[in-house]
Amino acid sequence: MQDQTITRKNIRSMMDRFYSQVLKDEIVADFFIDKLGDEMISDEWQGHLDLLSDFWASTILSETSYKGQPVKPHIHMEGLQRVTFERWLELFFETVDKYYTKESADIFKTRSQSIANNFMRVLGI
Ligand code: HEM
């Protein structure tokens, strides 16, 4: 069932689903496997899922739990292209549509698209 309300709890479970799809994807998986390995139960992956839950909760719910620098790790990633971002967004949109009703899903879509555009601008791609 889709949630109408975005909560910390459903963000965390949405992250689990999103990254399990990412790990199966031909275009984006290798970027994550290079940094975090291919086992989502590992400490590295669980740390990433917690961090990204903080990121989205801070972005959308105005929490202050995320204090990182989101652009930084992407700057040093070899081989990132527009198609990589396009595919990432496609998977993310599919996931948010599964989890949330339209109004809430649209909030994630608008924010992720604008952050991805910003990353691409910084990366010059
Ligand atoms: C081309 C698509 C993308 C790829 C392949 C990618 C890959 C990664 C990887 C591998 C990490 C972990 C880096 C590490 O731990 O060393 C990471 C971190 C992160 N990504 Fe992405 N990413 C992509 C797009 C995005 C987008 C569009 C967003 C936001 C909407 C995003 C938000 C973040 C954040 C917040 C972090 C954590 C940064 C920190 O260390 O504080 N990523 N990404």
Pocket of ligand 1 contains residue 37 by CB under 6 Å: no
Pocket of ligand 1 contains residue 92 by CB under 6 Å: no
Is residue 18 predicted with pLDDT exceeding 90? yes
- Token look-up 């669980």 returns 46
Which numbered atom of ligand 1 lies nearest the CA of 34? 10
Mean pLDDT of the chain: 97
Instruction: Please report which residue ranges of the chain form alpha helices under DSSP H.
Output: 8-22, 29-36, 43-60, 72-75, 82-99, 102-123
Is residue 70 predicted with pLDDT exceeding 90? yes
pTM comes to 0.97
- Write the residue with the smallest CA distance to atom 19 of ligand 1: 70
User: How far apart are alpha carbons 118 and 125 in whole angstroms?
Assistant: 10
Q: What is the mean pLDDT of residues 55-68?
A: 96
Pocket of ligand 1 contains residue 40 by CB under 6 Å: no
Confidence label for 24 from pLDDT (cuts 50, 70 and 90): very high
Digit-coded pLDDT (tens) for 81-125: 999 999 999 999 999 999 999 999 999 999 999 999 999 999 999
Report the first-to-last Cα separation within the chain, whole angstroms: 38
Q: What is the pLDDT of residue 1?
A: 84
- Token look-up 């949405």 returns 14
Domains of the chain: 8-123 (1.10.490.10)
Q: What is the mean pLDDT of residues 39-59?
A: 98
Share of the chain above pLDDT 90, in %: 98
d(CA 74, ligand 1 centre) in Å: 6
Which numbered atom of ligand 1 lies nearest the CA of 88? 2
